[in-house]
Amino acid sequence: MPEPAFEVGTAASVRAFHVMPGMPGPEGTLHSHDYRIDVIVRRATLADGMVCDLDVLDGALARVVDTVAGEDLDTIRPEGFDAVTVEVFAKWVHDVLREAVGGAGGEHLTVRVWESDVAYGAYAADL
């Protein structure tokens, strides 16, 4: 069970493309998803009444969205992965946000990437 903590979060939507190599269509061909990216920042205690500055969080997430909007996610595929699944996408977003969120006071970051109303992949780690 996680330790008690305060949380803040934000979300954004973006359409991007990906392919699952070796799978039959439609997953095995380039196709789009309307992804929703949820970002949750945790901190054990508040600093100046906040977990982290939401303007910083929103700005960093907007840069993520600008990077992948309308793009093939293979362009952001981390080394060592064969495809950009929702789990890999969540890890990439976490890596991009890590510095901004940590610099704004966050201690733990969770990223959830939804590819439908009910299905998501996530990555979470201390900063």
pLDDT digits (tens, 9 = 90+) for 35-46: 999 999 999 999
The predicted pLDDT at position 2 comes to 72
Q: Over range 14-21, report the average pLDDT.
A: 94
Tens of pLDDT along 46-101? 999 999 999 999 999 999 999 999 999 999 999 999 999 999 999 999 999 999 99
Q: Over range 95-115, report the average pLDDT.
A: 97
**How are beta strands 108-114 and 31-43 bridged, if at all?**
antiparallel
Give dist(CA 66, CA 8) in Å, integer: 22
Q: What are phi and psi of 50, to 5 degrees?
A: -130, 155
Instruction: Record the pTM.
Output: 0.94
CB 61 within 8 A of CB 37: yes
